[in-house]
Copies of this chain bind each other. A is one copy, B any other.
């Protein structure tokens, strides 16, 4: 996998970036991917932000994992985020494990892998780093920024920090500050990783062992939260792995058990345990409201960006109520905002799945912004 990562597209940022934790980083890498073609007046670019376990490979086949990109349902020719029409950019977040500056990189000061000596990263740091990529690509103003879950947090942070750098913003299934329950769930994942003796205080790269069992448990826990109770009941219910009677053992009797075990073991092949710690920490630290002394609407003061906030009815991780708080804050500062709660039984995962109402909302909102911006440019 490492060799494959070496061959992926990277921007090396020479500048210094001061992180929220106070540390300066420089000569750091941002691994990225683009899809579609940038038009002449560079007005059709959309910056997509990935979620906790995503990466820059939004669509097509991910060359590292050989699996389909994480947002292939939404991004591609003729799809909601149409690669025939738009130029899509996505980069691996800081602290990620798909080529961007992260805990699995070598610390030039020690010539050893960072591990847990890597600095704590915030959502703001992630967003700031991506500005270098836009500069490099020569894009002054994006058509849109879009993302779900942690991607949505980046959308909010970007829109707040750089109101003039995007015509529109689509925060999906997210929150302006991480709730106690979500911090608890992330902490559970971290504790599962840290409980694995192979984690070795983050120095597993010094041994031949990896904290795969702990990381798999963290993934299983997270995966349960991505699905709704109703969705799980409809898909799995109490269906048995093997028809007939129970095994009276601790083997996977129920299909839901095998499914979870598969999700766990599958994940460890493509994700790094330390990255999981760092990225969940960034999510927990996210509190846009606090950045503006408890008044979220100040985060968007005088913004001209047009927002489309999307939530899903069965998402209990980032429920509609938390998405509505964003809408309320945007309304309070007179921003242009539309809001759709999409009916779906598929829980938080809905934004990654083929949910027609959602994809139509995405497509039509982007289309209207595109037409508006195109007309403006003609004038």
Chain A interface residues toward B at CB < 8 A: 20-22, 116, 119-120, 177-181, 183-185, 187-188, 190-192, 194-197, 213-214, 216-217, 220-221, 224, 227, 229, 232-233, 235-238, 246, 248-250, 252-254, 256-257, 260-261, 264, 277, 281, 284-285, 287, 290, 316, 319
Complex interface: chain B residues within 8 A of A119 (CB)? 248
Instruction: Compute how far the CA of A232 lies from the CA of B252 in the bound complex, rounded to whole angstroms.
Output: 32
Instruction: Compute how far the CA of A284 lies from the CA of B239 in the bound complex, rounded to whole angstroms.
Output: 12
Instruction: Compute how far the CA of A183 lies from the CA of B239 in the bound complex, rounded to whole angstroms.
Output: 11
Which residue in chain B gives the minimum CB-CB distance to A261?
B191
Shortest beta-carbon distance from A203 to chain B in Å: 14
17 A–B contacts, CB within 8 A, in A order: A21-B248, A120-B248, A179-B232, A180-B232, A180-B235, A180-B238, A181-B224, A181-B229, A183-B254, A184-B260, A185-B224, A187-B256, A187-B261, A188-B217, A191-B264, A197-B197, A229-B316
Instruction: Compute how far the CA of A324 lies from the CA of B252 in the bound complex, rounded to whole angstroms.
Output: 29
Are A257 and B319 interface neighbours, CB within 8 A?
Answer: no
Are A184 and B256 interface neighbours, CB within 8 A?
Answer: yes
Shortest beta-carbon distance from A83 to chain B in Å: 36
Shortest beta-carbon distance from A275 to chain B in Å: 13
Instruction: Compute how far the CA of A192 lies from the CA of B211 in the bound complex, rounded to whole angstroms.
Output: 13
Instruction: Compute how far the CA of A220 lies from the CA of B191 in the bound complex, rounded to whole angstroms.
Output: 9
- From B181, B188, B217, B264, A232 is in contact (CB under 8 Å) with B181
Complex interface: chain B residues within 8 A of A190 (CB)? 250
Instruction: Compute how far the CA of A226 lies from the CA of B6 in the bound complex, rounded to whole angstroms.
Output: 45
Complex interface: chain B residues within 8 A of A316 (CB)? 229, 316
Complex interface: chain B residues within 8 A of A257 (CB)? 183-184, 187
Are A236 and B180 interface neighbours, CB within 8 A?
Answer: yes
